[in-house]
Structure 1
Amino acid sequence: MGSGLPIFLLITCLQVLVIAAVTDSSDLSALNAVKSNWKNSPPNWIGSDPCGGGWEGIGCTGSRITSIILTGMGLSGTLTGDIGGFPELQTLWVFSMFSCPLLSSTFMLENPVMSSSILQDLSQNKGLTGILPSTIVNLKKLENLFLIDCNFNGPIPDGIGSLTQLVSLSIASNNFNGPIPPSIGKMSNLSLLDLTDNKLSGTIPVSDGTRPGLDLLLNTRHFHLGKNQLTGGIPPNLFSSNMKLLHVLFDSNQLNGSFPSTLELVQTLEVIRLDRNSLTGPILFNFTNLPNLSELYLSNNKFSGSIPDLSGENLLTYVDMSNNSFDASLIPPCIMERTQLQGPINATLFSSAQLQSIILSYNQLNGTLDLGTNYGSQLLLIDLQNNSIGEFAQGTRYSKELLLHGNPFCQKTQSPDYCIAPQQKNSSYATPTGNCVARSCSAQQLFSPNCNCANPISGIMHFRSFSFSDFQNGSYYIPLQAAMMEAFKSDKLPVDSISLSVPLKDANDYLEVRLDVFPSGDYVFNRTGFSFITSQLNNLTFFKLPDAFGPFFFTLNTDNYFPGSNKSSNTGIIIGAAVGGSVLMLLLIMAGVYAFHQRKMADQAIQQMNPFASWDQNKANGPAPQIKGVLSFSFKELKKCTNNFSEVNALGSGGYGTVYKGTLPTGVLVAIKRAEQGSMQGKSGFKLSWTKRLGIAIDSARGTSRPSL
């Protein structure tokens, strides 16, 4: 029993090593090839078994790598064509952290040839740059491709449309250039198409009978093509009544031509952004056919003619038609800055219950301003600066923000507050803390809403649309915060609390809100928690947005959340190698001891079974007689003599076993007895001394030599 325990332990250790080493060899080769082009990979990426070794950010199902989630890890380097070696990959998220600039010729996709089902996130790693390799088309099972806020460049591969399982394609905030591949139109399962903030050029592709186009994406809900260099008109046949579009965001391009009247066919539309283009002509459009429309951005174009009638849009909460060339007409309840409007203002303009802001600055409005007594309860801002208003009939005093600077009326007064040029200001809103006394925290730590000092994930939420203008009103952010916390808890992510602060509108009319996510159970996130949380913050389906907020994307502020990653990586490799070497040496020693023990037991058994064990064959004299001319044969030779103990050569059997006829190499016939397994006959007899054996033989001879009686 004493010797069995170490043997059992050794076998168990060896079995553990075999079971742990389960990573599929092709997946391992692909991952090693990709990893070889990266710097700052996670410090525990050592050894040769990502699945069994618990590599950070690597998830497996069986022996196949099914997820790679490395968002915001500070990775740098290139993504080579080896990424095409993950055929089972289903999701690839690559959100940049600070420098994705090195990812060059290839890119990791979900469901490539890696047989992984999910390669989920490399986003927020701005050190990753380069082109999106053409081998991406090998990832036939890819469902989600996210490459957000990195430094990828070059054209989008023409064959990307062969990824027909894609549900989400988001490559926003990179440097991709060239045209939008028409083959994207073959992605019949696509729900999200987000190409925002790149350098894409050319026209918007539509099908023509010989090639596909975006008009074939009937299941797509999001067309996000803003902040590119797209040219040409918006094709009329891009839209149809069979579509399910919610958002059409084509802002900040170089599009020209007329307003696409076929938009009214897509009755599911909620947000339209065509601002900051060069669209011209009148807007001949019946907006009443869009019952769900809540936000309309048409500013900074060259529209002319009559202002669109929006009176039937009951859900419309935000309209911006500023900086166009509309004809002078009655002023609709919307933002109409720099639109060459003329004439007096009707007091009914201010009575709409939905309006939060009226911005009519830089026009030619004149006459007497009368706000009336029935202005909307939600109206928080009236901006009529730089017009030609000569009088102000105050009536019931308006207590919210009123801006009249730059009107002749203000030159006649003693400069009341509303005649003073406003100063640029940022919102002071921030998520309040609990009932506790604030205290100072160490460097890189912040005081959380739950009164703890911790190192949060910090970044900016960029909302591409929103339907309110009072950025200091906390009632808009409370439901947003609650929805996010509920999603974090539902996914069992290690989040203690979140803070929203400093909301402001950027130059593209995107709403920016600072977000701090605080860890639960510790003062800092580990790498796994960090990656999962940052990747989910760019997942539009992660939580349901409140009605006041439109689609968004998230970028990290955190500069090197895991400092000293290179050093820790080297330390991890050294420690891992030392531990691995020690374990291997221990196993070798145990194996050596086991082998020596087994050999010793075998020698003892042979010694006990050998009837000639006590003979010293090197001595001429001794208790054992030296028989001259006796030959010895190996077992191999005996097998050969008997044709491998063939049954044909069997002569008979006895107590000790079967006797076989054999032929020696010299041609001499011999009889060879082979002991049967388990036979114990004669075992004791072999231990008789030669003196005793000689005496028995002599007595037997004497008995046989006596004459018969």
Structure 2
Amino acid sequence: MDDSIYPRLKLVDLQENRISTVIIGEHYKNTLILIGNPVCSTGLSNANYCNLRQQLKQPYSISLANCGGILSCPLDQKLSPQSCACAYPYQGMLYVRGPLFRELSNITIFHSLEKSLWEKLGLTPGSVSLQNPFFNGDDYLQMQLALFPPTGQYFNRSEVQRFGFSLSNQTYKPPHEFGPYYFIASPYAFPDSYKGASLSIGTIIGITAGSTTLILCLVGLMVYAIRQKKRAERAIGISRPFASWASSGKDSGGAPQLKGARWFSYDELKKCTNNFSGRNELGFGGYGKVYRGVFPDRKIVAIKRAQEGSMQGGLEFKNEIELLSRVHHKNLVSLVGFCFEKGEQMLVYEFIPNGTLRESLSGKSGIQLDWKRRLRIALSSARGLAYLHELANPPIIHRDVKSTNILLDDNLNAKVADFGLSKLVSDSEKGHVSTQVKGTLGYLDPEYFMTQQLTEKSDVYSFGVVMLELITSKQPIEKGKYVVREVRTLMNNKDEEYYGLRELMDPVVRNTANLIGFGRFLELAMQCVEGLASDRPTMSEVVKALETILHNDGMITNSTSASSSAANFEVSKGAAARHPYIDTLFTKKDDGIESDAFDYSGGYTFSSEVEPK
């Protein structure tokens, strides 16, 4: 090993080989790792090449030797390099997917990452520890990250939420040498979980007796329920000829109980989509592709066709369509029917002609939304979510509220779509559901992310982000900036017109002559994105606040009457309907069939019966 080695090669890793002799030139200054080779046991002149692994296992933070030697801490605690005291750090594993270096012994680079972390996360110098960096099997740089509290032993809950949100949503940006990354946090033990009150013997006996009685009652109820279920299944088998309706012939729990939806054959849907041609493809998601279908009576539908990897079992698919068929509200996309045969699972929805709210805000659809229209969209989508939370039976938490899941009909009224991530809330669970975190970055409730306790207030947080999108037309996370934080930073109540957000606002909104209710709308949005769920309003309270804003402007908001938005776009009888913002006709020809956008709120005349194959 001498100067003839390629000069830019900073590291040579020859661990665990059979190298017995090494000649190292006196000018060789780069890193050489010989751990696990016979040469390390024969008196190599420079033993550092055989001990590098032990060096790399030391923390890159302030040396613990400054704390007076090796100290031990109780379980779950670690020695803080800043205070030399035992504390509970917020920790996890940091994976760097594309570092611009391979030299692990350059401590300066890792010190720059430590400094960046404590500065950008609002910590004190020396409170960050990086340990055991190495390149794993995926060729990612992996290291243990620990953040220590500046005082005391614990972080509070808001601090832990802030760290988790910044690292997991990648709003924290590391030095450029480290490139893209992701972070997996370890559970944090708050002090409350270690506090316990001593119980008297009498109390323990009472609790034990009560628990035993409760368990016996539950066992009795379970036995009774099982017997009743078997009786019901026998009755269904006798009264319904299609109790086993799965294409595989396996019983899926009986024919689905549908309200306002019907069964379609595979051949019907194949024909109305022209054999699922690419021309009729509307989009693609995790569930599968969505196609536009036109039936012989000119009714238009959107057909969601599951791809093989997302197929559910027969019972799960039956439960989903039963749920969707029970949901009826003018601000929710309606289920028309389903198909379950020939190895296919398809859901048939009403067709919404003007695409998603995100497409209109971005200018992709060509529709320009003025301020009053944005207020109406906020109100109508809030009504749909309030229905799911409070009037659906059982209540439903959407779990993926975002501007791409809010569709606009031919009068630009909003309809909430895509219940693919929805979660049912039974009476016994109402208020919180423990679940794996699902949703979309930027819209994700930070409290739900940290606690994995899903509530209706998680939807409220996501809806608050959508409200800020209506003001700014920006995506939630754009160029590394998070819209909630940007708005919170810039807000200035002394600015009675724009509240300090002039530069952040969509020009269409900013140039509106009279921004009716803008201040109240902004205040309501910020209440929805509060960090703690208890500080956020319910969706019904959001609906009432938006109705008040529109009512003060003299606009009709009564859900039982014809909306003012519909009145604005009335056309004379027999005249072709024109879009208020695009000078093109709705009527167009598709595959030789002239079709109009149809009235899909109760406009379907399909039979609601489940038809046999």
TM range (shorter): under 0.3
Greater length-normalized contact order (CA 8 Å, ≥ 6 residues apart): 2
Would you tell me which structure has more helix in proportion to its own residues? 2
Larger of the two Rg values belongs to structure: 1
The TM-score, its normalising length taken from structure 2, stands at 0.26
More strand by proportion, 1 or 2?
1
